[in-house]
Amino acid sequence: MRQFIEKKEFIIPVSVVLFTILLYLLFRILVNLIYRLNLNRGNFKGKLNNGRDGITYRKRILAFLIYGIMPIIIIKYIFHERLQDYGFAIGHANFKPVYFILMASMVLPIMLLLSKKDRINSHYPEVRGAFVSNWSLIFSSITYILYYFGYESLYRGFLVFGLRRYTGDFIAVIASMVFTSVTHLSSPGIVLIGSIVSGVIFPYIVILSGSIWALFVFHSMIGISMDLFCIKAKKVEFSINANWDSVMDIRNKKI
C-alpha cells in the first residue's frame, strides 16, 4: 500500500484534485472578501452599478491569476512536468475547426432566443455598465477573455489532462463536469443545465484536440456573444416601451 501511495500514478491525480479544490476555495474566499469590502464602503448605494461592476472586473482578473497562472506554476515547479501534457500544446488534427463552426451554428440561435428572457438578461451582461457604455462593453469583453483563460486552464487543462493519464477519460470528464457545474450554481437554471451538458461535451473536445486553446476561443466567443445578445434584447425592449409611451402620450393629449 505504501509503495502504491508513493507512486506517481497515485500522487499526481490526487494532487490535481486537491489543488483544484484549493484554488477554487481560494478564489471564492477572495471574491467574498472583495464583496464585503465594497459593501462596507457603501459602493452599492445609488442607482449606478459601479460597485458591482468593479467586483466583476476583480473577480475575472482573480480567475485569470488563480485559475490560469497558478496551475501553470504548479505544473512547472511542483509537478516538474511539461505544460504541453496539460493541454497547453498547439493541439492536433483529431478535432477540426469545422466542428466548432457546427457547434456555434447550433448554440448561437439558442442563446439569441434565451437572451430575450428576463431571467437571462437580468443576469447578463454581468458588467451592467455595458448596457450604456461601449468602453465598459470592451473592457468587460477583455476581462471575460482573461476569465475564460483561467477557467479553461484549471478545469479543462490542469484537471482533465492531469487526471486522464491515470484515471481514464471518463473519470476526468466527470470530475471536470462536477467542478464546472458548481461554479454555475448561482446562475439562472437554464445556464446551470447548459453548464452540465457542456461540462461533459467540452472536456471530450479538449481530449480529442489535445489542447485547451480552441475551446478557450470558442467559450470566450459564447460568453461575449451572450452579453451582446442581451444588450440588443434590452435595447429593443427599451425602444418598444419608449415608442409605446409616446403613443399613449399622444393619445392622452388628444383625449
Reported as a single tens digit per residue, the pLDDT across 223-236 is 999 999 999 887 65
Spatial CA neighbour of 71 closest among 145, 30, 20: 20
Q: What is the pLDDT of residue 190?
A: 81
Query: Is 215 within a domain?
Result: yes
Query: Is 112 within a domain?
Result: yes
Residue 6: band (very low, low, confident or very high) from pLDDT cuts 50, 70, 90 = low
Query: Is 21 within a domain?
Result: yes
Q: What is the pLDDT of residue 249?
A: 44
Number of domains in the chain: 1
Sign, CA torsion 181/118/105/97: negative
Query: Is 253 within a domain?
Result: no
Query: Is 162 within a domain?
Result: yes
Q: What is the pLDDT of residue 252?
A: 46
Spatial CA neighbour of 205 closest among 82, 70, 107: 107
Tell me which amino acid residue 53 is: D
What does DSSP assign to residue 86?
G
Q: Measure the CA–CA gap between 130 and 231, rounded to whole angstroms.
A: 8
Query: Is 151 within a domain?
Result: yes
Residue 250: band (very low, low, confident or very high) from pLDDT cuts 50, 70, 90 = very low
Res. 41: pLDDT tops 90: no
Dump pLDDT digits (tens) for 89-117: 876 656 667 777 888 888 889 888 888 88
HSE-up (13 A, CA, CB side) for residue 194 = 14
Query: Is 196 within a domain?
Result: yes
Range of the domain at 110: 2-247
Q: Measure the CA–CA gap between 36 and 27, rounded to whole angstroms.
A: 14
**Percentage of the chain exceeding pLDDT 90:** 50
Spatial CA neighbour of 202 closest among 230, 186, 179, 185: 179
What does DSSP assign to residue 186?
T
Q: What is the pLDDT of residue 40?
A: 64
**Residue 8 or 127, more confident:** 127
Do residues 214 and 100 touch, judged by C-beta distance below 8 A?
A: yes
Lookup: cell for 120: 437571462
Query: Is 223 within a domain?
Result: yes
Q: What is the pLDDT of residue 79?
A: 92
Q: Measure the CA–CA gap between 18 and 176, rounded to whole angstroms.
A: 13
Residue 77: band (very low, low, confident or very high) from pLDDT cuts 50, 70, 90 = very high
